[in-house]
Amino acid sequence: MYLVWLRVATVLYAIASLAALPAVLYSFPRWRRICMPVAVLAFFFHFVSASEMLGLAHRWLPVGYGEIESLLGLLIAAIFLLIRAIYGTVSFGIFALPASFLLVFVPALGDARYTFPSSGVRVGWLVIHIGFLLAAYACLAFSMVASFLYLAQERHIKQHFSARGKPPVSSTFMRDWLPPLDTLERIAHATLLFGFPCMTMGLFVGCLLAQESVGPAYFFDPKVLLSFAMWVLYVVLLYIRLSNGWRGRKAAFLSSGVFLVMMLVWAANQFSQVHRFPVP
């Protein structure tokens, strides 16, 4: 029966995670009113599931990857709710709730791993996984380029107003082909917003694919760990840009940091047992 409660908690964590993003990133009060009650319900069913699971096993310590992941997800959710109760903030929900969902997703499938009905279905999900992540990487790259072009355009504009007489030819050329600062900023921000759901969906489908091949142990794979680190940095980048209004140099440095982690994720394929690209 504990699997039923865990599956209910998994669905509720997913709903709370989706509600937390607009509640925190865009300060929508309606989504905040949805996020917190659903998160509390998810924690309640998760706690019931964990208590019943350990009670049936007649022990208090977890055994195996599935039980460890389930209890870790419960602990993360408990800390988030405690922070919410003491400090009244839901900002940590954009990290804690998706983390709890991903940690309990595979254990909620049960001891028997989910298997795809055919190789064609698995290939289809693999195409979706790769397509979403490539779209996220491309959007992040465009955002970084737009941020650096913003810096270049801003620098040449400052030179134009500070210089006496006619500006240098190179400065005039840069201003002629570069878009206005506001356009570059909107491009950088729009590509980030479009890439974030792509990365989130890509990681979710990747979890579904990985659990079939290696089970819950995929959380210890270096590529998986770096992928989730990149997702966390992506959320931090969006949150800082929206809350503090960072643009220009600071935004470019943030985008570069996330892009560097993305390069590390690609390099981790050489050490990953889950993401090993075939050699032609």
Per-position pLDDT tens, the chain of length 280: 788 999 999 999 999 998 988 888 777 788 888 999 999 999 999 999 999 888 877 777 777 777 888 888 999 999 999 999 999 888 888 888 988 998 888 788 776 556 676 778 778 888 998 899 889 888 888 888 887 887 777 777 776 655 555 555 445 555 566 777 778 778 887 888 888 888 888 888 887 777 666 665 666 677 777 777 778 878 877 777 776 666 666 767 777 777 777 777 767 665 665 565 444 3
Rg (CA), the chain: 22
Structure-token pair, residue 217: 């142990």
Contact 199, 234 (CB under 8 A): yes
Domain boundaries defined on the chain = 1-112, 117-280
